[in-house]
Amino acid sequence: MPLGERGGWERSESRYCGVETDFSDDVPSLLSFNISTGGFDYVLAPLMNPSYRPSLMEGKGSETQVLPVSGSDLVLAPSQWSSHVVGKVSSWIDLDSEDEVLRMDSETTLKQEIAWATHLSLQACLLPTPKGTSCANYARCVNQILQGLTTLQLWLRVPLVKSDDATSEGLTDSWELWNSFRLLCEHDSKLSVALDVMSTLPSETSLGRWMGESVRAAIISTDSFLTNARGYPCLSKRHQKLIAGFFDHAAQVVVSGKPVHNLPKASDSNTEGTQRHPLRSYLDYVAYLFQKMEPLPEQERIELGYRDFLQAPLQPLMDNLEAQTYETFERDSTKYIQYQRAVAKALVDRVPDEKASELITVLMVVGAGRGPLVRASLQAAEETNRKLKVYAVEKNPNAVVTLHNLVKLEGWEGIVTIISCDMRFWNASEKADILVSELLGSFGDNELSPECLDGAQRFLKPDGISIPSSYTSFIQPVTATKLYNDVKAHKDLAHFETPYVVKLHSVAKLAPSQSVFTFTHPNFSTKANNQRYKKLHFNLPSDAGSALVHGFAGYFDSVLYKDVHLGIEPTTATPNMFSWFPIFFPLRKPVEVHPGSPLEVHFWRCCGSSKVWYEWSVSSPTPTPMHNTNGRSYWVGL
C-alpha cells in the first residue's frame, strides 16, 4: 500500500516505504510479516546467507554445491519478487581488500548475487558501502556487471555525512565517495545512490547537492528518530524537510534498525489481536510526512510530464509555429497582463490627459501571432482612454488567417491593420510611436529578438518606445545527473552542443545566477552589433562541499517598460507564468568544483550571415573543450 493517495499527485507519483530486514530462508513469511502485517511496501533483504564464502566451498565437490540463497525462485510469484523485494548484496564483501582471498571471494559473491537478482527479475539491488576511500576494484566489477544489465538498477549505499573538520578521521564528505565511484562507472544511468540518513545532518547547502543526483532511496535508521510528547517516533524539522525533498524527487524511504521507542502498551497489538509490527509506528510517521506535504499547484500538475524532459528550443524565425503552440502560449494570462500594464504606462507617458481625445498613437505589434498582444494593447488603450491605431505584422500566413477572423469578430476593422510580412522586410507607410513584440526565448535573445527588432526599428519614431525595452540572460552552474544521462544516451557530440528547453526539477543549483548578455531597444547606434562575449566566475558556498557541474541553467529577465518586468530568473521570476521553461547548456565532460576554487566560464553569442549560435566552455578549475564551434551542432536560422 503506497504512502496514501494524495490530492494533486498522479498515481505514478506515489511514494513507497520499505523495511530493511535480516537474512531469512523463508521469504514468504518474511513478506507476510513485513508487508501484510507490517504495512510496508517492500523488503530490503539479503539474497544470500551471510556466512557463505566461495573459498570455503572449494574442494567439497563444488560442482554439486547449491548457492545458499534465500529460497527457490518458485517460493514467490514473479510479480511478488519484482514489486516486493529489493535485494541486498552481502555487506561483508570488500573488493579492495589487501587480503586476496577476501577480495576474490567478494568478487565471486557480488557477481553471483547480482546474477541471482537478475534471475528473479528484481527491480533493484542495494550494494554495500565501499569499505575504504579507494574503491577502484569494486567500481570496476560493478561497471562490468552494469554493462550486462537491462532492467535491474543498482543502488550504492552511501552514508549521508559531511564533516566541516578536514582533520577528522574517516570519511569527511560521502559525496566524494559517491562521485569517484560513479565516475569510475562512467556515469552509468543504471547506477544510483541510496543514502543512509544519520541522526546528525550536514549543512543545508551541502544537502542541496544531492537533489541533482540520482538518489533512489533514503534509508532512515530508527535511532535517527526523536520521541514526541506521547512517546511516539518523530523526526527533527531538518530531517522532515529533507525527507519531503526526497519525496518530491521520487526517492523511496526505507526504515532500518530495531525499534528504539517504548510505545504505550495499547499499541502493541491491533484490533484483531494480532501482534503489531515492531516498526509500524515508524512507517506511520513516514506516511504522515508524505500526506502532510502541500498538494501540487494546478500548473505544476500540468507540467509534471515536462519535469527534466529535454526539448529542442523553437525556431520561430525559420519555422512557422503550429496552432497548438500558439494555444499554449496564449493561455499564459500573467504575461499578457504585464504587457497590458506596460502599454498602458507608455500610452499615459506618450499622450497627456488633455490631448487624450485628439492624439492617435500608432502602435505596431511585430510578430502578432494570433493576436493576444493586439488585444492587450487595445485593452490598455481602453483602460487609459487613449486612442490607438494598430498595425499587426505577422509572417506566418496561417496565423494571419486567424488574425483576420479576430478583427472581424471583435469589430476592430477601423483600428487594426493586418500586415502579412516579415517585419525585417516590411516598408511601413508611417512611423510608430510604440513597437510591441514577444520574441523572447528562454535565454532572452535565443529566438533572435535582437535581429528582428533591429530590422523593425527603422519604422519607429526617433523618440519611439520599444516594449520590451531591454532583456538580459543569466546562467548558473547545476548538478543535473538525469539531464546529463539523457544527453549522453544519444551517444554523439551534437546533443552535448545543443541547449535544451527544460522544466528543471532534479537539479541542484550550485551558486547564484549571474547576468550574461544584455540587449536594449531601440538601438540607434551606428556601431550596433549583436555579437557578445562574457567571462563569469562562480564560487560554491564554503559549507557546500565539492560538486559536479553537468552544465548551466539559463534564464532571462526583461524590462517591458520602466518598472514593468517579465522574467524567469529564479530570484526575480514573474509568478504564475508558464510560457518559458529554463534553458540547459550541457557540458561534454562534467567538471568537479571545490569550495574556494572558482568556476570560470565563457559564453559567446556569435553571428553569421544566415545564423546565430552560442559557444561555451569552462577554463577553470579544469578546462573543457569548446562547445558548438562555428555553430556546428546547433544554431538559430536567420
Q: The domain spanning residue 261 has which CATH number? A: 3.20.20.150
Instruction: Indicate whether 274 belongs to any domain.
Output: yes
Q: Rounded to whole angstroms, how far apart are CA atoms 165 and 174?
A: 13
Domain boundary among 438, 461, 478: 438
422 is in an annotated binding site: yes
For residue 265, the model assigns a pLDDT of: 57
Res. 215 pLDDT band, cuts 50 70 90: very high
C-alpha cell at position 619:
577554463
Chain mean pLDDT for the chain: 91
State residue 63's pLDDT score: 62
Same domain (yes/no): 422, 562: no
Q: In a 3-state reduction of DSSP, which class is residue 462?
A: strand
- Give me the mean pLDDT over the 236-242 stretch: 97
- List, for residues 169-185, the tens digit of each pLDDT value: 556 899 999 999 999 99
Q: Is 231 found in the same domain as 106?
A: yes
Share of the chain above pLDDT 90, in %: 78
Identify any residues that bridge with 215 across adjacent strands, giving them in sequence order: 193
In this predicted structure, the answer to whether residue 455 has a pLDDT above a threshold of 70 is: yes
Residue 11 pLDDT grade (very low, low, confident, very high; cuts 50, 70, 90):
very low
Cβ-based neighbours of 370, under 8 Å, separated by 6 or more: 326, 330, 399, 402, 403, 406
- The tens digit of pLDDT for each residue in 338-384 reads 999 999 999 999 999 999 999 999 999 999 999 999 999 999 999 99
Same domain for 106 and 61: yes
| Domain CATH code at residue 334 | 3.40.50.150
- 398 shares its domain with 527: no
> In this predicted structure, which of 156-170, 355-369, 504-518 has the lowest mean pLDDT?
156-170
Pair 547, 479: CB distance under 8 Å: yes
Rounded CA-CA distance 478/398 in Å is 40
Angstrom distance (rounded) from CA 106 to CA 144: 14
Same domain as 91, residue 27: yes
Task: Evaluate whether residue 450 is within a structural domain.
Answer: no
Q: Is the pLDDT of residue 7 over 80?
A: no
Query: Residue 630 has what DSSP assignment?
Result: G
Written as one string, the DSSP assignment of 8-37 is T--GGG---EEEE----S-HHHHHIIIIII
The neighbouring-strand residues paired with 601 are 536, 618
Tell me the C-alpha distance between 513 and 6, whole Å: 34
Identify the band that residue 316 occupies on the pLDDT scale cut at 50, 70 and 90: confident
- Whether residue 329 lies inside any domain: the answer is yes
* Residue 423 is labelled as binding a ligand: yes
Question: Do 622 and 589 contact (CB within 8 A), yes or no?
Answer: no
For the record, the C-alpha cell of 343 comes out as 502599454
pLDDT at 167 over 80: no
- Shared domain for 581 and 632, answered yes or no, is yes
317 part of a folded domain? no
* Nearest 10 degrees: Cα torsion 244, 249, 254, 259: -10
Overall average pLDDT of the 599-616 stretch: 96
279/329 same-domain check? no
Ramachandran assignment for 241, one of left (phi > 0), alpha (psi -120 to 50 degrees), beta (any other)? alpha
Residue 354 lies in domain: 323-438
Alpha carbon dihedral 144, 149, 153, 157, in 10-degree steps, equals -20
Per DSSP bridges, beta strands 215-221 and 226-227 are unpaired
How do beta strands 500-501 and 226-227 pair?
unpaired
On the question of pLDDT at 1 being above 60, the answer is no
Q: Which amino acid is at 498?
A: T
Q: Identify whether 431 is part of a domain.
A: yes
- 461 found inside a domain: no
* 138 marked ligand binding residue: no
What DSSP letter does each residue of 45-104 carry, written as one string? Answer: EESB-TT--HHHHTTS-GGG----BSS-GGGS-HHHHHHHEEEE--TT--TT-S-HHHHH
Do 114 and 31 share a structural domain?
yes
Compute the average pLDDT of residues 453-479.
95
pLDDT tens digits for range 90-134: 999 999 999 999 999 999 999 999 999 999 999 999 999 999 878
Residue 132 and residue 78 in one domain: yes
Give which of 240, 208, 306, 173 is closest to 507, Cα–Cα: 208
**Which positions are catalytic?**
438, 447
CA nearest 339: which of 466, 158, 157?
A: 466
Q: Where is the domain boundary, 296, 312, 336?
A: 296
| Domain assignment present for 617 | yes
Task: Please count the residues of the chain.
Answer: 638
Q: 527: annotated binding-site residue?
A: no
Domain count of the fold of the chain: 3
Element counts in the chain: helices (H) and strands (E): 17, 26
CA distance 50 to 114: 15
Residues 20 and 102 in one domain: yes
**Which of 17-31, 54-68, 71-85, 416-430 is least confident?**
54-68
Q: What is the CATH number of the domain that holds 578?
A: 2.70.160.11
Residue 356, classed as helix, strand or coil, is coil
Q: Is residue 368 domain-resident?
A: yes
Report the alpha-carbon distance of residue 27 to residue 85 in Å, rounded. Answer: 9
| pLDDT at residue 5 tops 80 | no
Q: Per residue in 542-565, pLDDT tens?
A: 889 999 999 999 999 999 999 999
Cα–Cα distance measured from residue 622 to residue 600, given in angstroms and rounded to the nearest whole number: 9
* Whether residues 419 and 517 fall in one domain: no
* Close Cβ partners of 613 (under 8 Å, ≥ 6 residues apart): 605, 606, 628, 630, 631, 634, 635, 636
Instruction: State the pTM of this model.
Output: 0.92
Residues 184, 146 within the same domain: yes
**Residue 61: its pLDDT value, please?**
54
433 is in an annotated binding site: no
298 labeled part of a ligand binding site: no
pLDDT band, very low/low/confident/very high, at 13 (cuts 50, 70, 90): low
